[in-house]
Structures are given as C-alpha cells and as structure tokens.
C-alpha cells in the first residue's frame, strides 16, 4: 500500500493568562488535508531553524495557513497602526522554511497569510491595509462578524495557470478574510487569480511543480467541490513526490 503523503503544517504560539502557552492550528486545515488523502504533520514554530532541513525531508508537502499580519519590515515597510497580530517567531520560521521547500521542489500550498509570506519570501511586497491604501477596492475583510464560509466575492482565474488546470477557467466564488494582499510580485511569481476589483487573489511559481498561493480560505469551504479539488491536487502532487522518493530509497 502506498503511504499517505505527509503534509507539514505550522502550529503557532497561543498565549494564555492562567496556563502555559500552547501551539495550535485551526482544525479546518487538518480536516481538509485528511479529506484529500494526506497525513498532517504539525511543526511548532518554536523549532530551531537547524532542524528544518531534516524535518522537511520527512514530509512530502508543505501547507502555509492563514493568520495574523507579517511584520512589515519583512517587505521593507515600517510598522503602521493598521497592522496587527504580528508573530515574530512565526515570521522567522515560515521565511526560513519556504526557501528550503522551494529548493527541494516540495509541493507548497499557501493560504491567505501564507500567500503573502510566500510573496515576501521571494522579495515581493504587500498592500498592508486594503481599506486605507486601496479605498476604491471592494470589501475583503469579511471577518470577524461573518461566517467563515461566506462566499463574499468572485475571483477571475487566469488561463494557462496551474490554478486554472485545477479549478477550471470559470470564475469562482470565494470567502474573504483578509485586509492585506500581494502588491509587487516576488521573483518568479505570476498572478493566477484576481478579484473583480483587481486585487491579487492567487499567485504561483511556474518553475516549480506545485507552488501556489490563494488569498481566500478553501479549507473553510468543504462543501465546494472545486475547493476540495484544490486540496486533492495539492496532496496528489505530494503523493507523486512520495512515490518518487520511495523508488530512490528502495
């Protein structure tokens, strides 16, 4: 029996008033990977950087989840009042992990914050606050007072991209839980989806087998067959790497 591809996910520090800190990740990501046939493996962001190459070799794919804002210094900007929920430990961990994953050509799926960190890791920049910087744009921050599965707007998928091969060329209705977005693309990245207002909603790295970032939260849309297909395609790509590595080892 072919083993399930192991998908690395990063758990991040949560501070508590009356007990020790914990490292957590929303269950929706784990469920999405499991439904797609993968095996989630949690990497706490406190792990020493020297351990990352070995840990990454033990996994066939990497999923970067959503979360708080990336520190603006990571893309050449000063701190601003609109930026919130910065986690320096997580920033450092993810920015160290991404180049390793790309170097090894590990399938990489980056969601919301994850897409922004992927862009920054490759030298790109962000709109640090859509409402104040792009007042002409539509509403993208449909949180916290809205259901996470609210499909708030449409994205246009660029023909000929990996995302189009997975989801098809037709526009997709997506949820929207972000106030930041990709501004200038990092090295090698291309746009694979945009909102109707022009805000970048998907990026990918064509020179890699599977390196894709989406600004929405497909893990929160488990009833949407196209979003389930996105995870299946990601896990399938990781599975192909697992089979290839097995043939080398054995």
Locate the domains of the chain by residue range. Answer: 6-249
Q: Topology of domain 6-249, per CATH?
A: Rossmann fold (3.40.50)
Name residues whose C-beta falls within 8 Å of residue 186's C-beta, 6 or more positions apart in sequence: 118, 119, 120, 121, 122, 123, 124
Is residue 171's pLDDT more than 50? yes
Return the pLDDT at 249.
39
Is residue 1's pLDDT more than 90? no
Percent of the chain with pLDDT strictly greater than 90 = 95
Question: CB–CB of 231/35 below 8 Å?
Answer: yes
Q: Which residues are catalytic?
A: 112, 217, 219
pLDDT band at 250 (very low <50, low <70, confident <90, very high): very low
Across-strand partners of 212?
Answer: 109, 204
Q: What is the mean pLDDT of residues 79-89?
A: 95
Return the pLDDT at 243.
56
Is residue 40's pLDDT more than 90? yes
Return the pLDDT at 244.
53
Return the pLDDT at 12.
97
Return the pLDDT at 245.
47
Is residue 248's pLDDT more than 70? no
Is residue 149's pLDDT more than 90? yes
Question: CB–CB of 61/241 below 8 Å?
Answer: yes
What confidence tens digit (pLDDT) does each residue in 178-197 have?
A: 999 999 999 999 999 999 99
What distance in Å separates the CA atoms of residue 119 and residue 213, rounded to the nearest whole number?
Answer: 9
pLDDT band at 247 (very low <50, low <70, confident <90, very high): very low
Tokens of 123: 């030298």
What distance in Å separates the CA atoms of residue 15 and residue 76, rounded to the nearest whole number?
Answer: 28
**DSSP assignment of 81-145:** TT-----HHHHHHHHHHHHHHHHTT--EEEETHHHHHHHHHTT--EES-HHHH-TTS---B--SS
Return the pLDDT at 24.
97
Is residue 167's pLDDT more than 80? yes
Question: CB–CB of 214/191 below 8 Å?
Answer: no
pLDDT band at 241 (very low <50, low <70, confident <90, very high): confident
This prediction's pTM? 0.95
What confidence tens digit (pLDDT) does each residue in 6-34 have?
A: 999 999 999 999 999 999 999 999 999 99
């Amino acid at each position: 029996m072919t083993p399930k591809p192991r998908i690395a996910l990063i758990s991040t520090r949560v501070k508590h008033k009356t007990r020790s800190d914990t490292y957590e990740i929303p269950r929706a990501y784990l469920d999405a990977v499991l439904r797609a046939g993968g095996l989630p493996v949690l990497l706490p962001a406190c792990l020493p950087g020297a351990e990352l190459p070995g840990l990454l070799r033990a996994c066939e794919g990497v999923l970067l989840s959503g979360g708080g804002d990336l520190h603006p210094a990571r893309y050449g900007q000063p701190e601003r009042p609109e930026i919130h929920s910065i986690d320096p430990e997580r920033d450092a961990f993810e920015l160290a992990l991404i180049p390793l994953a790309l170097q090894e050509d590990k399938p990489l799926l980056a969601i919301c914050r994850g897409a922004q960190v992927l862009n920054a890791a490759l030298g790109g920049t962000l709109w640090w606050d859509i409402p104040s910087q792009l007042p002409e744009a539509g509403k993208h921050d449909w949180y916290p007072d809205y259901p996470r599965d609210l499909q708030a707007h449409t994205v246009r998928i660029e023909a000929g991209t990996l995302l189009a091969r997975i989801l098809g060329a037709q526009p997709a209705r997506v949820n929207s839980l972000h106030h930041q977005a990709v501004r200038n693309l990092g090295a090698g990245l291309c746009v694979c989806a945009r909102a109707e207002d022009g805000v970048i909603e998907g990026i990918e790295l064509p020179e890699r087998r599977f390196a894709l970032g989406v600004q929405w939260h497909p893990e929160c849309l488990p009833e949407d067959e196209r979003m389930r297909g996105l995870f299946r395609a990601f896990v399938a790509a990781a599975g192909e790497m697992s089979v290839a590595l097995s043939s080398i080892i054995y």
